[in-house]
Structure 1
């Protein structure tokens, strides 16, 4: 996993944690970087889907795509996570409570409501405009116009994803208070995926609001334009 790929960076924190458990272990002092409370791992314009961080290459690509402050924040969180995990190795893991699972679900659903809303709304609006203009001129089908609208929506999503994450973080919701072992349990992962799925579903349904502004007049105008373009050829 990523902690194996960043072993050299995490080694000071691991040694400090082991020295706290075993006084016989001595380590040199390392500088402590102040913890950054507000940092976004998703930068604007660089939220393209990435391959899983299960290899050194993918982890390296992810690290190089971050800003210096983001790398510092990531390193601090990984060091803290590893320290807590080592300190709790001998403890009996307890599954997350029902309240924690609900919070994980809600915490993951909020940003994806925005993603689904923007994706569907932009796709419908762009697809309609493309069909009413380029579609009539070049005679492309409705499905082709919808595909081009989806292209516009995806391109817009690359630039707007960071703003959605920033807006979601301003709601004041902190990350789930889970131990490292609880974060890796299947209950937490299932709740996280369910939250994302529910958020996208709600966002896509809300993003269908442009359909309320489409009327039969648009279809009539489309037919008139198409007839006007085909008339000279006849």
Structure 2
């Protein structure tokens, strides 16, 4: 159930992607690539929002020639242009700062990274649980009764519906999150690669999707328990 946030970001509006890549702006601020850009082309890998990471970490398909080629070919022409501009700017900044001593991100920057990463995942977790609960319950009450499938089988089919729905709704979740007006954290390339930044980002995603999943349980309020149903049947 927690794998769906990665799958949900496969489809997304190109305008959201272009805005996150900076749309060719020459600002000296670091605009990290969004999770939908880096991770969702890679099916099972965990999304990463910040940093370039060492080549010794074979966890992202993009660190292979074939993975990078597949990713590039999956982009539109405007997306490739924006990506190239941002990569060139990022690499030029990284080269210029190779010999510089850079301080770790401040506590305020880490909090901002945390918040920036958590907000979209609240939406992903909310949709995941809400759709799964509603779909699973309806499947159990309809198909489940006809074919005699178990509750767990109905829940699995509900999760399937949630996964499929998430593919189409992911772009709208990210667009809504971007409308909140939170710009990318003001980090330089060295700070983006530091473990403090990556830890803050991952914690934000974990806590965000946890909050979203808990909020997504709200359909349970409207479902009656077996005891309540039996009580109503006895009254009738």
| TM-score, scaled to structure 1 | 0.73
- Note closer, same or farther for the CA distance 1:134–1:47 as it changes in structure 2 (3 Å cut): farther
Correspondence for 1:130 among 120, 127, 139 = 139
Distance 2:128 2:216 in 1: 7
Residues 49-83 of structure 1: per-residue CA shift (max 9 Å, x gap): 36521101111111111121111111111111001
Distance 2:173 2:185 in 1: 19
Distance 1:218 1:138 in 2: 24
1:49 equivalent to 2:43? Answer: yes
Aligned length: 187
- CA shift for structure 1 position 214: 0.3
| TM-score, scaled to structure 2 | 0.73
- CA shift for structure 1 position 220: 4.0
Q: Determine the structure 2 residue equivalent to 1:214.
A: 223
Distance 1:40 1:156 in 2: 21
Over aligned residue pairs, what C-alpha RMSD do you find? 2.6
- Note closer, same or farther for the CA distance 1:48–1:79 as it changes in structure 2 (3 Å cut): closer
* Structure 1 segments (4+ residues) deviating >2 Å: 36-43, 46-51, 216-221
Q: Mean Cα displacement is larger for which, 60-69 or 186-195? A: 60-69
**Pairwise mapping of residues 143-222 of structure 1 onto structure 2 (< 5 A)?**
143-216=152-225, 220=229
Correspondence for 1:105 among 114, 118, 124 = 114
Greater relative CO (CA pairs within 8 A, separation 6+): 2
- The structure whose Rg is larger is 1
Residues 127-156 of structure 1: per-residue CA shift (max 9 Å, x gap): 000000000000001010000000000111
Distance 1:120 1:112 in 2: 12
